[in-house]
Structure 1
Amino acid sequence: MAYYGKCVDAAIEQLGRFHPEKESPEQFLGAARTALQTLSPQKQAFILEVLSGCLEYRKLLTVVVDAFYVRDGRLCLRADYHLFQVICYLATFQLEELGFQLFCNIIKSQPADKMRKFLGFFFNPLNLCSWIKDEWSLLYDLAHVQSWTEPLLRWQPEVQALIDQLEGQSASRPPPSRARVTEPKKFNLTVPRPRAIPLPEPVPVVAKPAPVPRSTHQPPKEPQVLEMTKRYNRRKAEELLLLANLEEMRCAVPRARREPPAQGSRKLRLCFPPRIRESPKLTFYEPNEVPVKLNTAAILREGALYQRQVEKELQRVDKLVDGAGDFSEFLEWQKKMQAKDREERRAADACRRLRGKLSHEEATLARQQLLQKNRQRAARKKEEMAELMQQCAERRLQEQRSLRELVEQVMEGQKNVKVAQMKLLKGRRQTVQEVTEENRALLQRSAEEAREEQRRRSELISQLRALETQPTRQGRPVDLTEIPGHGLEGEMSIVELRERLALLKEAQWRQEEERRDQIIQGKRTKSQELRNALEQISLCRAAMGRSAALRLEEKKAAAPEAPSQDERVQELQRRIEEAAAERRRQAAQLHVPAPRTGCPKPRAQLEAQHWLELEQSRARRLRAVQRGGSACEPRRRLQAT
């Protein structure tokens, strides 16, 4: 029996170390397996099996043990809580496997009075068939609960005989003698000698550092000037590319709307786009033929656009069938206006290109002027530096004189150092004696306070132990199937309330499923409508592409018109020639060699590459306009109609 008692005590000890809020059951079992490696394999397997079972059915065991403390175990200590859990687990799940004889040996290895009370409470048929079965049914399935309670009812006669035997043992046992009261004794501690106070070390004298210059924490001005220059140049380039972006976006927005001349006067109404895309770079690239995935709004918008175009075309055909007039005169006027617009665009392109060249010449002239100013500023700086060097030499002579005087004063002050040191040593010795006396008084006072605190703690411990021996009473258990009976309308028990809540949740779940089915059906219908709209859009795009290809061939067959000269272009050319002549004249004055075309400097290379990219982007934009003009022709014809 001592063998089984040690195994049960080890299981109780390990179970008392489990904290569910800090560690998981797997981690706890791993730590317990490591701690039980010194035991034999049979003991280790039995203890680990009991621990895993108690952790797995912890809620079920808690129901029985808590009810035992409320009803029959009011006088039992809370320290035996894990003991009752282990006995309850062995009786419920391991009684068939261990056998009744081995179970009796385990029970007899524990205190007889405690085991008699707990087994009498747990194996009571009235308790097993009533509230224990109901409480376990709330945690597990009813079939499992019946498979656990039926073996307990079968073993009830043998367990009752074991309870009677335990009662006989407790009756024949003599009453326990009165326990002796522990008398605390004082500790015989060696009084430590007071520590000597070390002499303070002399404070080293450090030379005063020079102040940090103001330029260390202030950024230089050159990066700010360069950043402002870059922003200014970029803004100027974006202004130059504004008209180019307008031309590029002309195919995506309605073109300029022109009205036919009336009464010999020409009136134009231009419909510019609401927004103009600003390009972050100075170069343009040809768009790749990548399919664009349209969303629902884009599909519906484009479908509605093609539908309106078809309706307008049908209306136009109906008007022609009904006898409407011909638009040949309007078309001729429209062609003339388009030719005039093309000439204006060519002149604007030439002006933009010449403005760029003019800005380049002006920038070169400004650099030459800046170089001349820098040379003059450098000459002035050299003169100022010479004056500063002379002032520094005079100041250095004055500092040397002052240092000589300071050295003489220090030599005189060292003669009185020994007298001051003796006075300081005497003062420090007196201070050490005073501090030693104060420390001795403080130690005596702290020893008296410690003795008083020890006496107070011993009294408090004796009071707490007296309170622990007093019995505690708990409240009655709560029956969830009982109606409160407060006299209110619609009173119900907690079990009935839970059933009604379950039915309400089930009804809500059915409504959500029906709503979800309706949403899925609506999505399927909408997706089918979108697929039909996409098929119609693809057909319209194919037709528009074929018509655009035919118009592009006709446009290529026509001979291009030569760009006409404009007064603005001639004025810009004249200004460029004047700026170039002024730049060459200043370069000759400054003896600066002109940049050669064979091996240009890095800045000249960048500028040449910049102008080359502008020419290439202009050519690509012209080709894009020619391709997009044919695609926008149906829209312009519908607007003209």
Structure 2
Amino acid sequence: MASSYGSLVKEAAVLLDKFSTGRQCLDDFMEDASKNLQHMDTQPKKFILDVVSGCVEYKKLLDIVINAFYGQNGKYLSRDDRSQLVIICYLATFVLDDLGLQSFSNVVKSLDIKKMHKFLSFFFTNLTTWIQEKWNNIYDAAYVEKHWIGPLLRWRPEIDILLDQLAVKMSRGSQVKKAPIKTTEPQEFSLNKPKPRALPMPELIPQQERHKPVPNSTYKAPKEMQMIEEIKQKNHQKTEELLYEANMKQFRCANPHKSENTKKVMSQIKQDLDSELKFNSVHSGGRPPSNKNNSWPIKLNSAAILRQGALYDRQVEEELQRIERLVQGAREPSSFLQWQKEMREKDLQEELAKIEKRHLEGRISYEEAAMARTRIMERNQKTAQLKKEETAQLMRRYAEKRLQEEKEMRDLVQQVAEGHKNSKTAKEKLQKFKQSIVKEVSEQSRELLRQALEEAQAELSRKFEIICEIRAIESLPHIRVKNFDNTETAGHELLGEMSLVELKERLALLKEAQQTERQEKREHILEEKQSKKQLLLEQLDTINIHMRALAQASAIRKEERKATLGFRQAAPQDERVLALQKKLKEKQQERQRLKQIESDKAKTSEQAAAHTVRHTGTHNKKSSEEKNWEDLERSLERHIQKEAPDVVSQRETLKT
């Protein structure tokens, strides 16, 4: 047992030597150490890791004792003994209550007895003197006295007994007689040829481990990207087809023929009527031909198969009931069906007449809207002509006002030319104004600098307070509680309180119950799937039979439709449709007449524009006179600036 404790302490000393405080993180180092100690059991591994982490955490306290001990007995100690002494000091100071005296004595006896005796006697003799004083400089004195010095003083009698035992072992070891030293006897020198050295066995060449093959997914693009590209290509092709179709087709707003939508509606109405009239033709034929190689046009899921099977079963029941009624003496509703067919044909003709009527009404409303647009354009042109006349009057008034302002400007220029002698007074006033502006700017800048300095000082004081708080928090001791028993409860006195062992056991039982329940559910699901599969196969057989019967009925309907195709023609036009067509022609003629009137007005407006071009010469003359006046004003300003350069220009005085 003692040898095992000694090996654990040596393992911990090796790990402690490898750790460097300033260059490594403790958490990363402990993770690497736990990976290296995976071959050991959990309890020794936990002991080693706890000892190393504790020595690193309390390094400052332990270095005080070890450095002083090396200062007195450094001659008799090697550098490798330092880590062992650090571990013994940590165990005696912090872990002695948890470890127990017996385990601690086993650890001490497994190492060098002489060194351990000297260190423990040095540590416990100086514990209450200078060691306690230096520890008080690092931590709070009350905390040191309560948690470290007090427990060590309580263990002092047992430690004294351990030191006496170590001293007895040391004295016994010194009294053991040493074995006589054997003297070497000289041998004659042999001049024989020495045997050649045997060739060493060649070392085995280490074989390189086979690398794992690269997965195929590394070199393949994901399927989603390929699917997205295919969808994009399909959408692009579809848009090109739609664009081509839209460009090729003509506008159908004024087309007298029926639109495609109208034709589709008419064909759908006819098909609905045919299907309603032929609902009993399925059972009128003979036995349908057998088709063994039946291929389904679409893939049905289970819900569709069951729904289709239920539908066919219901149809079979209805047909059986109809046959029973016929056997009992009921009549076949053939005359009623013929009357129903005639009435529906009549309704269809009325529906087609309504559709044609709506089409003609839409075209008439389009023609009326076009005529209304032309009337609105004429009204807008009249209002625009009135606006042009009003703007021309305003321009004439503005020209007169401009001539009046030019006269006033010339008078002002003459006054400035006469009063250029008073320029010195204006210059002095301008200089005083500039000095006052500079003084105000300098005062504002000084005020801003003072405010910035006060804000910087306040920020520095706030940061200094935060740093002091952080340092005070870091100086607090870190208390570790390591007492934990798996079989004991937490002691909260709750009704359902359990220990960790009981909790694990109950969780294991619950897991087993869940597994059995899951297995039973899986078996039940498999049975249901098998029964459902059998039901679907039966329904597929019935669907296949009915599909063949429906195919034969559809072939008979096609033949009847071909026979009655010539009978059905377009709906006859009634009086309302003819009246609407006549009204549409009148609206079109009226629209053509309005277009002719607009073209005549455009020709007259072109002639008027040619007439206005001739009268633009007079306007050019007026603009040339205005330019001459501006040139005269500029030359007069240059003359004044040459004679008195400090005088403010005419334009600046007018602006102020």
Tell me the TM-score normalized by structure 1: 0.48
Tell me the TM-score normalized by structure 2: 0.47
